[in-house]
């Protein structure tokens, strides 16, 4: 509970600064992750934006014809989202216990949110539960290599809370580090088909000098298996 409370407070404190910085920065990653959404699902497919923030992605999905709703840990982010997408169903809640019934959504979408959980396995189990058979899990997270560079203790496998500098240094987000194995876990690979996997660059993320070119984000598309 302490972890979730700290995460909520963090985003409540800088919600408006985050929105202003995000809206001013060139939108590089959204087109990349939007390309992973199967066009045949339109229109009318149900979509959950996991970590919806101030509602910019839900606004896009509504225009595309999705029945989109959002969840976020931050009450301030939810309040901002209500101004942008007043008709959307928005809920403040933790990712590890989603307030939705089994097989509720065709798609669970998440951009820069899942990595804020200290227990990604539980989050993925909840996503699996709320997805319909053959539903899609599409997410973008901080690349584990970037997490490693940001750690003060250079132990790749040790989970450590790190300060991630984003949006041209205008925002600093504290989040736990993660490894590749969390995003390619036995649970995920047994319950989903991995359809796409991409390592990309994001100029909004802090650049570490002396390491040359390296990926800063990880994008994945999974599809829930049907048995």
- Asked whether residue 153 is assigned to any structural domain, the reply reads no
- Asked whether residue 166 is assigned to any structural domain, the reply reads no
DSSP per residue, the chain: -HHHHHHHHHHHHHHHHHHHHHHHS---HHHHHHTTS-GGG-SS-EEEEET-TTSHHHHHHHHHT-EEEEEES-HHHHHHHHHH-TTSEEEE--TTS-SS-TT-EEEEEEES-GGG-S-HHHHHHHHHHHEEEEEEEEEEEE-HHHHHHH-SS--TTS--EEEEEETTTTEEEEEE---HHHHT-HHHHHHEEEEEEEEE--TTBPPPTTS-S---EEEEEEEE---
Going residue by residue through the chain (227 aa), what tens digit of pLDDT does each one get? 334 457 777 778 878 888 888 888 878 899 999 999 987 776 789 999 999 999 999 999 999 999 999 999 999 999 999 999 999 999 999 999 999 999 999 999 999 999 999 999 999 999 999 999 999 999 999 999 989 988 888 899 999 998 888 877 777 888 999 999 999 999 999 999 999 999 998 877 777 777 778 888 999 999 999 87
Range of the domain at 9: 2-143+179-224
- Asked whether residue 112 is assigned to any structural domain, the reply reads yes
pTM here is 0.92
- Asked whether residue 7 is assigned to any structural domain, the reply reads yes
CATH number of the structural domain spanning residue 104: 3.40.50.150
- Asked whether residue 218 is assigned to any structural domain, the reply reads yes
- Asked whether residue 51 is assigned to any structural domain, the reply reads yes
Total count of domains within the chain: 1
pLDDT confidence of residue 203? 79
């Amino acid at each position: 509970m302490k972890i979730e409370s700290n995460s909520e407070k963090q985003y409540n404190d800088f919600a408006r600064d985050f929105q202003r910085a995000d809206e001013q920065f060139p939108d590089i990653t959204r087109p990349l992750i939007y390309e992973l959404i199967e066009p045949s699902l339109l229109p009318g497919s149900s979509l959950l934006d996991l970590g919806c923030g101030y509602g910019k992605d839900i606004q896009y999905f509504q225009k595309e014809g999705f029945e989109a709703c959002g969840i976020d840990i931050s009450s301030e982010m939810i309040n901002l989202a209500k101004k942008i997408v007043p008709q959307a169903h928005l809920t403040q809640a933790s990712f590890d216990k989603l307030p939705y019934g089994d097989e509720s959504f065709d798609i669970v979408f998440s951009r820069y949110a899942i990595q804020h959980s200290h227990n990604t396995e539980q989050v993925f189990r909840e996503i699996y539960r709320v997805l319909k058979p053959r539903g899609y899990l599409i997410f973008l997270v901080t690349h584990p290599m970037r997490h490693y560079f940001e750690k003060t203790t250079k132990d790749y496998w040790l989970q450590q809370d790190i300060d991630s500098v984003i949006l041209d240094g205008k925002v600093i987000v504290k989040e736990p580090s993660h490894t590749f194995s969390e995003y390619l876990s036995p649970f995920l690979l047994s319950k989903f088909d991995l359809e796409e996997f991409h390592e990309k660059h994001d100029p909004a993320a802090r650049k570490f000098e002396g390491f040359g070119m390296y990926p800063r984000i990880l994008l994945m598309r999974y599809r829930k298996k049907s048995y």
